[in-house]
Chain A
Amino acid sequence: MRLARNLAFGLVAALGAGVAQAAEIVPGDVVFRDGAVETPLTDQPGDPARGREVFSQRSQGNCIACHAVSSLSDVPWHGEIGPPLDGVAERWSEAELRGIVANAKIMFPDSMMPSFYKVTGFIRPGDGFTAKPAKEIKPLLTAQQIEDVVAFLKTLK
């Protein structure tokens, strides 16, 4: 069922990118309660396999630059800046995990962890790593990537 849905989504996405992106909460509309975000950012359930990529890829979340995860032993170089995330799903609820990924600075004031679903308040924001000023600021991760990475975190029990 889940597989079929993801397949269907993949197909539609391939056919007409933006159009298929159904209901999605934009960064400014995300409601945080005690640092947690109850409502999923898209109506498309997160995919842990894609979330694993978001977590590991430098061009996506690059979470691994700061966090070690035992189940990612095939990915080289785990950072030590943040806590290891083994068992993180037992420490935090899904809503809390979503809140931490979307904007960790609400749960942990002044955290070094980047705010992945935020588009305002930056000082000298660049266009990626080009050193040129950003023309339009997109969140570091899309709503779907946030849901995917949250789904991956939920596998860390």
Chain B
Amino acid sequence: MRTLIAACASAALCLGAGTGAAEGQKLVIEGQEMVTRAPAPDWHPLTEVISGWEFRDPATQALQMDDFENPAMIFVDQAREMWSTPDGAAGKSCESCHGAVEDSMKGVRAVMPKFNEEAGTLWSLEDYINNCRTARMQAEPWKWSGSEMTAMTALITLQSRGMPVAVRIDGPYQSWWEKGREIYYTRYGQLELACANCHEDHYGQMIRADRLSQGQINGFPTYRLKNAKLNSIHNRFYGCIRDTRGVPFAEGSDEFKALELYVASRGLGLSIEGPAVRN
């Protein structure tokens, strides 16, 4: 009995059911094929990295395959308006300095979070946006997971759609990456569960009504059918730790930025597919 259980504690042997997705199904959006499975880098605990899209049911998957069906696109349209609308005491819009979002923001998401030399620290996309708002536009910062911020991160993310996740983990990134890895393997809360318990050891399996994915962030911000809005990366981390009956770190905290870097690196090679649709 015990050996049977021990064998099942390793994901590879328990996986049987696969991802729950129709094997060989491709994610093609507006004619562009996304990489939803990629070989993992050497240091990675898994051999293959898999996008969260593969684990969703066919109806949810289909919503992401057509921009007219994807409910996130309403928010992207709102962000396009904000992009060219002046705000703040400096009377500037994003467009005043950055021009067309399609050109200036291409590839930006793929390398986030990114070390900011001037500030000497790791910044998420939200930090870059709020820095422009406060320091360059003299406007109020947006709330980390508020509707303006998630809409803007969706618009910017869209400009990297189909590009591979390409975060750096060397040099000044290394200590952040290590901190993120430590958090990933820490068993938080009264349920004593680490990210790895669910997203590394048991992906592909059902936990009550949810099929566990690898917990990748290449699809963020995600539109969730559950709350009918865009959800930020840090908000997802927050919810996952709260559900361990734990006290999450704050959105925008150094802990979550470190975790964001580490989790992003666990998806190196997957296509940026945000804004994705999830349940």
A residues with a Cβ closer than 8 A to B are 58, 62, 64-66, 76-81, 83, 91, 108, 111-112, 114-115, 122-126, 128-134, 137, 140
Contact = CB atoms under 8 A, between A and B. Distances in A.
A134 B207 CA distance: 25
A77 B208 contact: yes
Given A115-B192, A122-B189, A128 B202 contact: no
Given A66-B207, A81-B202, A83-B5, 15 more contacts: A76-B209, A83-B8, A123-B187, A123-B246, A124-B188, A124-B247, A124-B248, A125-B189, A125-B246, A126-B245, A126-B246, A126-B247, A129-B245, A140-B190, A140-B245
Q: Which secondary structure dominates chain B's binding surface?
A: loop
26 contacts: A64-B208, A65-B208, A66-B207, A78-B206, A79-B206, A80-B205, A80-B207, A81-B206, A81-B207, A108-B5, A112-B9, A112-B202, A122-B189, A122-B190, A123-B192, A123-B246, A124-B188, A124-B246, A126-B190, A129-B242, A129-B245, A131-B242, A131-B247, A131-B248, A140-B191, A140-B245
- Interface SS, A side: loop
Contacts of A129: 242-243, 245
Nearest to B2: A108
B interface, how many residues as a size bin?
20 to 34
B59 interface: no
A114 B192 contact: yes
